[in-house]
Structure 1
C-alpha cells in the first residue's frame, strides 16, 4: 500500500502589520512570512473513510482538525471519495502562532495531490487552501513571501538569509480571533517596515532585515501575557540579535549568531516554564 510522506514546516512572521478592518469581518494585513525547520511529519495512505490520527494528546483528529478539513475539501473539489488515513506526528507547538495546523492542512493538500495523481499546481492548491484559513495558502509552498489581504494574497520574495533561531513558547494558548478582535490601532507603539524588509531581502542584507522587522499584534498579546515580554528580554540579554513574537503569539523567536549563543539563550530561559526549540529558516517547497 502506497504511503505518502510530507513535511509540514512551521512559519514565523518577520513582519506583521494590520492595516484595518475589512467589510467581511477579517482584518487587512500585510505580512512577510518565513518557513522554518521546525516541522510535523504527515503520513497519508489509503484507508476506510477519512480518519486523522495524532500523537499529541492535546490535539483531536476529528472533523474539527484542519488536516481532516483539507482532505474533505480536496476530495469534494475533484469528485473523490476520501478513503484515506492521515497521521500527524507533531513537533510544532500547539496554538503557538507558528501555523502548525495550517501547515498540516497544506501538507495534506500536497500529499493527496500526489496520492491521487491530480497534477494540481501550487496555485491550484493555494486557491483551495484559502477556503480553509488565512495562513494555509502560504504553507502550501512556504519559503519567504509577502502576504496581503487576509493573508491569502501571496507574492514570492527573495529567500531570506539563513537565520539561526531559538523558539520559546510559554505554557498558555492564545486564540487568534481574540487577538484580532482586541486589536486597536491607537495601542500600537511601533510598526514593522514591510517595504524595508522586502528591500533588505532583495539586497541579502541581514542587518537591515532585522532592523525592519516587527509585529503590531504584540500590542494585544503582551499586555495580556507579560511573560512574552520577559522571554524577549531574557533572549536579548543572553546575546540574541533580535527577538519578536510570531503571529498572534505566544511563541517568541530569537535570532542568534552562533550555536554558543543559542545555548546561552536556552540557559537564560530555564527558570521559565517553556517549550523550546532551535531551528533555522528554510526554503520553499517544490511541487
Structure 2
C-alpha cells in the first residue's frame, strides 16, 4: 500500500493562441497550440488517519488552502467518487509563477488526479482522468495529456501532435498582475487585424521545422495585454536581441517566452535578464513530451 507519493506538475506555454468567438455561455471558443515545459511544481500526498479530511499546505501564504484551491477540489472529486475514507495531507511546493498564463493551478490539479489514481490503484485511463479533469477547469484535461497538442472548443478538445523539435525555451515573468477575465472581456474579436495561422504552426511542428513554427507564433490576447502592459513588448524585443528565433506572450500573460536553438545563447540571455531585471522571474526550460 502506497502511503506517500511525490509528483511533478509541469507548466505550459501557448505556441499560438487564437480566439474565434464568444459563446452564449460566456466562454470563448479558442484554437491554440499547447506545449509542456520543464518548469514544475512539486506535490506530495500522504494518507492520514484523520478520516475524510483534506489538509493542504503550500509555500505561498497568499494561496488558499481550503476548498477554494483547485488541488483541494481535485482531491475531493476523487475522494467523493471512489468513497475514499482516508484523510489526505497534501503539500504543494510552487515554482511555476501564479496567474501568469502557464496553467500553474490547472497542472497542480492534474497531477493530484494522476497521483491519487496511482496511490489508490483506481486504474483510470488517461482519457478517464481527462473527463474528470474537465470538471475542474478548461486547461486541466490538457495538463493530464501533456506534451504538444492542438486545443479547441473552450480548451477541452485536444489533438496530440508530434513532439516539439529539440530546443530551449526562456521564460520571463515581469512583476505585474494580469486578470484573464479583463483580457477576454476587452478583446475585440471583430477588430483583430489578423489571426494566427494555427494550422500552419501544426504543419511546421509535424514537419520538424522549428524556425518556421517560431516565425508563425502569434497570440491574439497580446492586443489587449501589451496595450495595458508595455513591459511585455519590451521583453519580447529583448528576447530577439538576445538571440531568440521568436518570442511570444503565453496565455493572457504576463509571462513571455523565447525559442532558442542554442544552449549557450539561452544561458547568455537568461544572465542578461537576471542582471538587468532582477525583479523579473527568469527560467531556462526545455519542451517536455507527453508521457
Q: TM-score, normalised by structure 1?
A: 0.95
Q: Please give the alpha-carbon distance, in whole angstroms, between the structure 1 residues aligned to 2:19 and 2:114.
A: 29
Structure 1 match to 2:76: 72
Report the secondary structure of 1:32's partner residue.
strand
Report the secondary structure of 2:276's partner residue.
coil
Deviation at 1:186, TM superposition (A): 4.0
Aligned residues: 285
Structure 1 match to 2:65: 61
Candidates 96, 104, 108, aligned match of 2:108? 104
In the alignment, structure 2 segments of 5+ residues that lack a partner are none
Structure 2 match to 1:16: 17
- On the 8 A contact 2:33/2:150 being kept in 1, the answer is yes
Structure 2 match to 1:210: 214
Structure 1 match to 2:30: 29
* Pairs within 5 Å for 1:1-287: 2-47=3-48, 48=50, 49-81=53-85, 83-269=87-273, 270-272=275-277, 273-285=279-291
Q: Please give the alpha-carbon distance, in whole angstroms, between the structure 2 residues aligned to 1:186 and 1:43.
A: 46
- On the 8 A contact 1:187/1:219 being kept in 2, the answer is no
Comparing 178-187 and 86-95, the one that deviates more: 178-187
Q: Please give the alpha-carbon distance, in whole angstroms, between the structure 2 residues aligned to 1:75 and 1:177.
A: 31
Report the secondary structure of 2:232's partner residue.
helix
- On the 8 A contact 2:9/2:110 being kept in 1, the answer is yes
* Cα RMSD for the two superposed structures: 1.4
Change (3 A) 1:70 1:111: same
Moved over 4 A (4+): none
- On the 8 A contact 1:166/1:278 being kept in 2, the answer is yes
- On the 8 A contact 1:161/1:206 being kept in 2, the answer is yes
Cα displacement string for residues 83-107 of structure 1 (whole angstroms, at most 9, x for unaligned residues): 2111111111111100111000000
Deviation at 1:82, TM superposition (A): 5.9
Cα displacement string for residues 187-245 of structure 1 (whole angstroms, at most 9, x for unaligned residues): 43442211111111211111221122211110111111110111111111111111100
Q: Please give the alpha-carbon distance, in whole angstroms, between the structure 2 residues aligned to 1:190 and 1:238.
A: 27
Q: Please give the alpha-carbon distance, in whole angstroms, between the structure 1 residues aligned to 2:219 and 2:86.
A: 39
- On the 8 A contact 2:22/2:29 being kept in 1, the answer is yes
Q: Please give the alpha-carbon distance, in whole angstroms, between the structure 2 residues aligned to 1:70 and 1:277.
A: 28
Q: Please give the alpha-carbon distance, in whole angstroms, between the structure 2 residues aligned to 1:6 and 1:263.
A: 27
Report the secondary structure of 1:215's partner residue.
coil
- On the 8 A contact 1:239/1:264 being kept in 2, the answer is no
Q: Please give the alpha-carbon distance, in whole angstroms, between the structure 1 residues aligned to 2:125 and 2:85.
A: 21
- On the 8 A contact 2:170/2:285 being kept in 1, the answer is yes
Q: TM-score, normalised by structure 2?
A: 0.94
